[in-house]
Amino acid sequence: MTRIAAIFPGQGSQYVGMGQDLSEKWNEARDAFSEVDAALGFELSSLCWNGPEDTLRLTEHTQPALLTHSIAAWRILEANGITVEAVAGHSLGEYSAVVAAGGLGLADAARTVCQRGQLMQKAVPVGEGAMAAVIGLDDDRIVSICKACTDELGEPVVAVNFNSPGQVVIAGTSGAVATASDALKEAGAKRVVALPVSAPFHSPLMATAREGLTPTLESLDFKTLSVPLYRNIDAAPKSDAKDIRTGLIKQVDAPVLWSTIINRLRDDGFDTFIEIGAGRVLSGLCRRIDRSLTCYQADTVDSIEKTLSQLGELS
């Protein structure tokens, strides 16, 4: 029996034009963008659809943009009879997952992730933090080398995104990431690629961002989820409002255990995933984790219509 989980992308998947075709075709998408425009007090929709790209890439804009696009696509699927039995989201995408499962309103989530982006950017001055993707080295080896570099330099560098077997992202101070990158190459990593990001997300350097965001998250009225969320911080399925709030607080400066999340969903019987929002990054990671998994996309009009058609054939 097919079991479907919805997965929601995080920062890095954004592009100019995202969601525009959905809003031209479906009221559900148009209403989602209008709701967020009103909540934020500026036309995020125009930024998503027209750019400029450098403004869209600012973290405080990117985060609500990706959230809105994901929820617009989710509402279209929902209106067309698609149901899922679990949700998960990569980093920022966890907010989209919570909104989709009824745990938080879109307007509250949009305001919160806008603040989250501002706090994450302020936590570390531009140029003082860095991230890099490590390709082709065992997870434990990466963790060990990062710890050795941290101990040697007295500056943090840690593994922050466990994306798939052989693909881990590290983050920390610029100097520590550079030192660890050299050590990881010497240890046999196939590639270590510096990422074009403005802050070392999910590293201990984000502690002040977590502290700044905590009062906002504690003030929000979270609801029990309609389906379980497999959390970033521990890959555990949770539905209780308190557990969801705690997970969103802790994930600011904790690693994203994406590979573990997908493996646990698979072990719990989920064999079909819909990536809801911009791009196909998570679909690619799913296939790297387990090639037997089936992945669909809900990004553009074409991809949503294809997904609705294919899932309709399954039912």
CATH number of residue 103's parent domain: 3.40.366.10
Rounded Cα distance, 169 and 149, in Å: 15
Number of independent structural domains in the chain: 2
Residue in 292, 291, 268 with CA at minimum distance from that of residue 84? 268
What is the three-class DSSP state of 203?
coil
Same domain, 210 and 193: no
- pLDDT for the residue 315: 55
Is the same domain home to 112 and 217?
Answer: yes
Q: Do residue 119 and residue 133 come from a single domain? A: no
Are residues 24 and 111 both part of a single domain? yes
Tell me: do 67 and 214 sit in the same domain: yes
Q: State which residues form the domain around 144.
A: 129-197
Active-site hit among 13, 23, 70, 91? 91
Q: What is the CATH number of the domain that holds 141?
A: 3.30.70.250
Same domain assignment for residues 191 and 298: no
295 φ, ψ (degrees, to nearest 5): -125, 135
Q: Is 198 a catalytic residue?
A: no
Q: Indicate if 96 and 164 belong to the same structural domain.
A: no
> 183 and 243 share a domain?
no
> Is the same domain home to 142 and 115?
no
Whole-structure pTM value? 0.96
Q: Which of 148, 174, 197 is the last residue of a domain?
A: 197
How far from 48 is each of 78, 162, 183, 242, 294, CA to CA, in Å? 22, 28, 39, 32, 29
How far CA 306 is from CA of 68, 76, 133, 296, 313, in Å, comes to: 21, 13, 32, 9, 11
Residue 1: its pLDDT value, please? Answer: 73
Among 178, 197, 216, the domain boundary falls at 197
Separation of alpha carbons 293 and 262, rounded Å: 10
162 and 108 inside one domain: no
48, 177: one domain: no
Mean pLDDT by 10 residues, the chain (315 residues): 94 95 98 98 98 93 97 98 97 98 98 97 92 97 98 98 97 98 98 90 97 98 98 98 98 98 98 97 96 97 97 73
Among the candidates 144, 178, 197, a domain finishes at: 197
Residues 212 and 307 in one domain: yes
Which one of the listed residues 45, 96, 202, 259 is annotated catalytic?
Answer: 202
Give residue 261's Cα distance to chain centre.
12
Which of 88-112 are b and which e, b meaning 16 or more Cβ less than 10 Å from the residue's Cβ?
bbbbbbbbbbbbbbebbbbebbbbb
